[in-house]
Amino acid sequence: MKRTGIVLVASSLLGILVGGVSSTAAPTEAATSEASARVAPAVQVPPGHKIVQRLQAKGVQTYTCTAGAWKGLEPAATLADRLGRAVGLHSRGPIWVSTVDGSAVEAAPVDGARNEVPGAVPELLLKAKSTRGSGVFAGVSYVQRLNTKGGLAPTGGCTEGAQTSVKYETLYTFSVPAL
């Protein structure tokens, strides 16, 4: 049994080193169910779609002072794969762009599809408005912002036109229609 385990681990590592990690491989049913179990119902991807990419994001949420209150201006984050490699950027739109293949997805929040998180920006479900390219983000239909940390606007008053950036982290998942 030890030998079988070692062979399986070695085979998996060899597959990663030789073939890379496939960004479009469908997760196993068990992995999908396990991930869905931890996602608030309000931000779950509708049936008929499958998650094809999970990317960790670190960056900032930038706010601007308008009429004496902080309003969201734009996010700016770097997306990393499960091995910690930077593979994309997230910016105003909101838009996610692959730095590996240039593909992109622009999305908009789904009305009412949010889950408040104490001390952090809310979790969201976003529906794709458009995609570009044939790479990582090709055909993306939904984006989830999950497991958020930080990023909340400052409390209290502000000076008109002032800007501030607040660090945040999140997990973005990208789904495509299941065939």
Tokens of 131: 């995609």
State pTM to two decimals: 0.79
Q: What is the pLDDT of residue 156?
A: 87
Question: Average pLDDT by consecutive 10-residue portion of the chain (179 residues)?
Answer: 33 30 35 56 97 97 96 97 97 97 98 97 98 96 98 94 98 96
Whether residue 17 lies inside any domain: the answer is no
- The whole-angstrom separation of Cα 103 and Cα 25 is 17
In-domain check, residue 13: no
Tell me how long the chain is: 179
Task: State residue 25's pLDDT score.
Answer: 35
The confidence score (pLDDT) of residue 9 equals 30
pLDDT value for 22: 34
Asked whether residue 43 is assigned to any structural domain, the reply reads yes
For residue 135, tell me if it sits in a domain: yes
Q: Output the pLDDT for position 38.
A: 84
**Alpha helices per DSSP H over the chain:** 2-19, 29-37
- Give domain status of residue 92, yes or no: yes
Q: Give me the domain span that covers residue 100.
A: 23-59+74-151+166-177
Question: Omega of the bond prior to 122 within 30 degrees of 0, cis?
Answer: no
Domain count for the chain, please give it: 1
Q: Confirm whether 136 is domain-assigned.
A: yes
- Residue 144 confidence (pLDDT): 98
Q: What is the pLDDT of residue 143?
A: 98
Does the residue 128 lie in any domain? yes
E strands in 4-159: 49-66, 69-80, 86-91, 95-98, 104-117, 120-132, 142-150
- Residue 130 is assigned to a structural domain of this protein: yes
